[in-house]
Structure 1
Amino acid sequence: MPLDTTEEAWQSAADASTYRDAVRQYLADHTGVAYHDRELADAVMGTSWAERGDGGVTTTDALTDLVHTQFLHDQLDELVRAGHVTARNVPAARLGDEPIPADWDHVTYYACAE
């Protein structure tokens, strides 16, 4: 149901949280290094991709992390469009022993653009 923006519920509500500032700060703190979205989700959102090894999504916790990571990915796209973050599609073959899903042909990495 729509909510009238003049109602108290809207007026007193907190701003929706995002991770744009946190991920932008994380990348600025690690200038010269690029990270893929799952690494960034672990760093700023507390997801558990690194603990899963290849990043398979086979449990409820992994599915929750996938949803959170997609939310972060949307915000990363906004930061790329705004020019704060640079994104590059790196062929998976160049990543050596990185734990990425076997069926990925590339991985998008993000770095501070400033």
Structure 2
Amino acid sequence: MSLDTSEEAWRTAADASTHRDEARQFLRDHAGVAYHDRELADAVMGTAWAERGHGDVTTTDALRDLVDTQFLHDQLDELVREGHVEARNVPTARLGDEPYPADWDHVTFYTTTE
């Protein structure tokens, strides 16, 4: 079902959030530090990766967080293409004792370029 843009429902609806602005602002507020997408999703979308740890994604809440994080990841990629954010793939072997899933060979970290 389509919605006519002259309808009250369309005209009074809130803009859809992509979390781009929030992620960009978070990275600006924390310049000099790089974060991976799950950390950013916790900070700007309210996901619960830090509480859950980095184990398997098997619960409904974890699956929802995974979808949200992938959506944010796509937005971060857009910010990278636009030059607002820099991304680097860091091998997990260089990350010390951080609890990343065993099958991850690298983690993509993001930081501001501004």
Is TM (by shorter chain) over 0.5? yes
2: distance between equivalents of 1:110 and 1:84?
Answer: 10
2: distance between equivalents of 1:54 and 1:16?
Answer: 29
Q: 1:57 to 1:80 in 2, by over 3 A?
A: same
- Unpaired runs of 5+ in structure 1? none
**Paired position in structure 2 for 1:52:** 52
Shift of residue 3 of structure 1?
2.7
**Paired position in structure 1 for 2:32:** 32
Matched, 1:8 2:4: no
**Paired position in structure 2 for 1:103:** 103
- Unpaired runs of 5+ in structure 2? none
Identity in percent: 80
Aligned length: 114
Instruction: Indicate if the aligned counterparts of 1:49 and 1:55 stay in contact, CA closer than 8 A.
Output: no
TM-score (norm 1): 0.91
Please identify runs of 4+ aligned residues in structure 1 that moved more than 6 A. none
Shift of residue 13 of structure 1?
2.1
Moved more, 36-45 or 12-21: 12-21
1: distance between equivalents of 2:75 and 2:54?
Answer: 24
CA RMSD of aligned residues (A): 1.3
2: distance between equivalents of 1:107 and 1:96?
Answer: 12
Matched, 1:19 2:26: no
Shift of residue 84 of structure 1?
0.6
TM-score (norm 2): 0.91
